[in-house]
A and B are shown apart, each in its own frame.
Chain A
Amino acid sequence: MNLSTKSRYGLRALTNLLDQDCCCSIKQISKKEHISSDYLEKIFSKLKKAGLLKVERGACGGYSLSRDPKKITLGEVINALEKPEFICPDFCSCQSKSVWQKIQSGFSHVLNSITLDQLTASKNKSVYLDYAASTPIDPQVLTAMLPYFDFSFCGNTMSLHQMGSAASQVVESCRISFANILKVNPQEIIFTGSATESNNTVLKGIAFANKSKGKHIIISSIEHDCVLNSAKWLETQGFEISQISVDKFGLLNLDELKKTIRPDTILVSIIHGNNEIGTIQDLQSIGQICHDRGVYFHTDASQSFTKTEIDLSKLNVDLLTASSHKIYGPKGAALLYIKTGTNITPLLHGGGHEFGFRSSTVNLPAIVGFTKAAEISIKNFDQENKKLSELRDYLIKNILKTIPESHLNGHPQKRLYNNINISFARVEGESLLLELDFYGIAVSTGSACSSSSLEPSHVLLATGLRPEQAHGSLRFSLGRFTTKSEVDYLLKVLPQVINKFRQISPFKS
């Protein structure tokens, strides 16, 4: 089906009223859009009848929107001008009728969910450089998920009937897919609701299952808050936590790790690719140390999964966390690899889903999406690794070159291909973040001022940065949809932004 000229011209003409933020005459729009005045007159009278436009009298005589553009949907506009329908007349009773009805309702749903405001917002420059926080869903992932919202997959995977077993079969095939990626057995993969949940399960689950052996747990000084705060909570429950330091690049001090492991140590949990500074730890060496001392080793691979090669058949890793929404999958899905024989107690007790490790009705569409997302990322690994590391190095080189008193945080080579973290002297990160946001650029900061705790990033401080250096840090994280021109736009805007705040600052170079 096609939109007729009426709808296309109608939408074009309406967006003019948005741009002007005032009323426009037919004549002006006609001239700008090259649409004849007579034709516009016809379209506008229909839109007026539908209550979408109003006539303005006086000096600026013409038309204006009768409602906030945030409250006018494309569906309303198109329905006022024509009635788009899929060919399946009422009397038709063919087998495919339900299909057409579904398409029709899906079509209306999409049109009714997009507003005029959103239509033009996407025209404005918007550069997303916060892929480490979360990623947009890949269109292929969404397409893969949609069938699993259908009636035929509505069953609970624990139910014995057809709907239940259909869902169950899909989950098992997803499990196999992840097992192949990580080179482990399918029954060692547990689906959870988030990386935070996976990490909580590991820390609390290992702690409570192994407390008769010991109550000592080791983490690094650069863990994500979900590991750090789980560990802090365990301290209140009588466990003892040791934090291993990192060097100025964020690499774990392996000698310190060796010295810190004691007979009562039950778990070592070290983040793989750091979420803030991008430093990638050496899983091989850490795993070997833990294995030699008979201590469980867990790694949070939320940022590194599918971005670096992780072959668990060659590594001494007992537990691993990976997340869906960091790799263009839906939010609300993650996994936990638990090596067979690991003594761990579940966080969630209930109906015994996920081999009893995680009771909860399985979120089928999200798991399908997560699986598809991982498959796409693995398939595109070489290509994305090349493209994004080149863009990353280009961005780092140019920022350090064009902005005085800037310095790279994290490791120059051993870092995630999409992570850039830079400190700028004499400026504060939250100001930079907000000013960049005005230019349509989305980034993150390690400044205290952007956190509710008012504490600067513990990760940056752990690498030896002074608090004021941590305050002046920005993280740029690239992704699948980042283009060279977006990076160039940032390179154009950033020096101006830094300069603006350095001028306001009482500290001069």
Chain B
Amino acid sequence: MYTQKVLEHFRNPHNFGSMTNPTAVGQVGNLACGDVMKLYLKIDKNQKGEDYIQDIKFETLGCAAAIATSSVVTDLAKNKTLTEALKIKNEDIIKALDDLPAVKIHCSLLAADALTEAIYGFYQKTHQSISPELEKSHQRITVCQTRLNH
């Protein structure tokens, strides 16, 4: 049911573990549903003075697809500027894994959401302006989370 790529990331996940003093953290998912993803970001300025993801780590409780999507999203986001990282969509995650079974598509959404949440949190913490689009994504994720938690 899973592609070779999914199994590779599942067996040997990249960038897993916690991070000491992360600049930003994004956590999504719900224990009752069986998937919880947490992303840790270390954000720094690049030579052009833009914020970029210098390091990224994940911790996930979930199925093989949840672990593989977490692993792949860290690969996709690493060394990207925040503006670039926000453009990572769940379709990109699915593509990087050579596909996901239909019932596991929600795992790719979770991974993209965790990244969005981490960046949103960072913008908020550093008092940077938040685009209406990002605000909308954040609202959607929060509503989804609250619904899941009840």
Contacts and interface: CB of A to CB of B under 8 A. Distances in A.
A506 B103 contact: no
A450 B104 CA distance: 10
Interface in A176-217: none
Nearest to B36: A506
A438 B11 contact: yes
A447 to B, nearest CB: 6
Contacts of B62: 428, 431, 449
Interface string B1-33: 000000100110100111000000001000111
A209 B33 CA distance: 41
A431 B64 contact: yes
Interface string A251-286: 000000000000000000000000000000000000
Nearest to B29: A506
A503 B61 CA distance: 10
B76 interface: no
Contacts of A438: 11
B34 A447 contact: yes
A428 B34 CA distance: 7
A448 B59 contact: no
B34 A448 contact: yes
Interface in B29-85: 31-38, 59-67
Contacts of A358: none
B59 A450 contact: no
Given A449-B34, A468-B31, A428 B103 contact: no
Nearest to A468: B31
Nearest to B25: A506
Given A467-B32, A468-B34, A471-B34, A450 B63 contact: yes
A503 B32 CA distance: 20
Nearest to B70: A504
Contact of A454 (B60, B61, B66, B103): B103
B58 to A, nearest CB: 8
Nearest to B107: A449
Contact of B10 (A431, A468, A503): A431
A452 B31 CA distance: 18
Nearest to B103: A452
A467 B17 contact: no
A430 interface: yes
A501 B17 CA distance: 11
Interface string A431-461: 1001100100000000111101010100000
A430 B32 CA distance: 15
A456 B33 CA distance: 8
A467 B33 contact: yes
A434 B34 contact: no
Contacts of A307: none
A431 B63 contact: yes
Contacts of A450: 63
Contact of A456 (B34, B35, B61, B67): B34
Contacts of B67: 431, 504
A34 B68 CA distance: 46
A146 B105 CA distance: 47
| Interface SS of B by simple majority | mixed
A504 B13 contact: yes
Interface string B92-130: 000000000001000000000000000000000000000
Contact of A506 (B10, B11, B61, B63): B61
Contacts of A452: 103
Contacts of A505: 36, 59-61
B13 A467 contact: no
A296 to B, nearest CB: 38
A428 B32 contact: no
B32 A434 contact: no
Nearest to A449: B63
A198 B13 CA distance: 46
A438 B8 CA distance: 11
Nearest to A504: B16
Contacts of A449: 34-35, 62-63, 65-66
B33 A507 contact: no
A273 B36 CA distance: 34
Contacts of B33: 448, 454, 467
A507 B61 contact: yes
A426 interface: yes
Contacts of B31: 467-468
B34 A506 contact: no
A427 interface: yes
Contacts of B36: 505-507
Nearest to A507: B61
A506 B17 contact: no
B38 A506 contact: yes
A507 B16 CA distance: 13
B39 to A, nearest CB: 10
Given A431-B67, A438-B11, A452-B103, A506 B32 contact: no
B35 to A, nearest CB: 8
Nearest to B11: A438
A1 to B, nearest CB: 43
B70 to A, nearest CB: 8
A228 B46 CA distance: 59
Interface string A478-509: 00000000000000000000000101111100
6 contacts: A428-B63, A430-B64, A448-B33, A449-B66, A468-B34, A507-B61
Which 9 A-B pairs have CB atoms at the shortest separation, nearest pair first? A449-B63, A506-B59, A430-B63, A506-B38, A467-B32, A471-B34, A505-B61, A468-B31, A434-B64
Given A431-B67, A450-B63, A471-B34, 19 more contacts: A428-B35, A428-B62, A428-B66, A434-B7, A434-B10, A438-B11, A447-B34, A449-B65, A467-B32, A468-B31, A468-B32, A468-B34, A501-B61, A504-B17, A505-B36, A505-B59, A506-B37, A506-B60, A506-B61
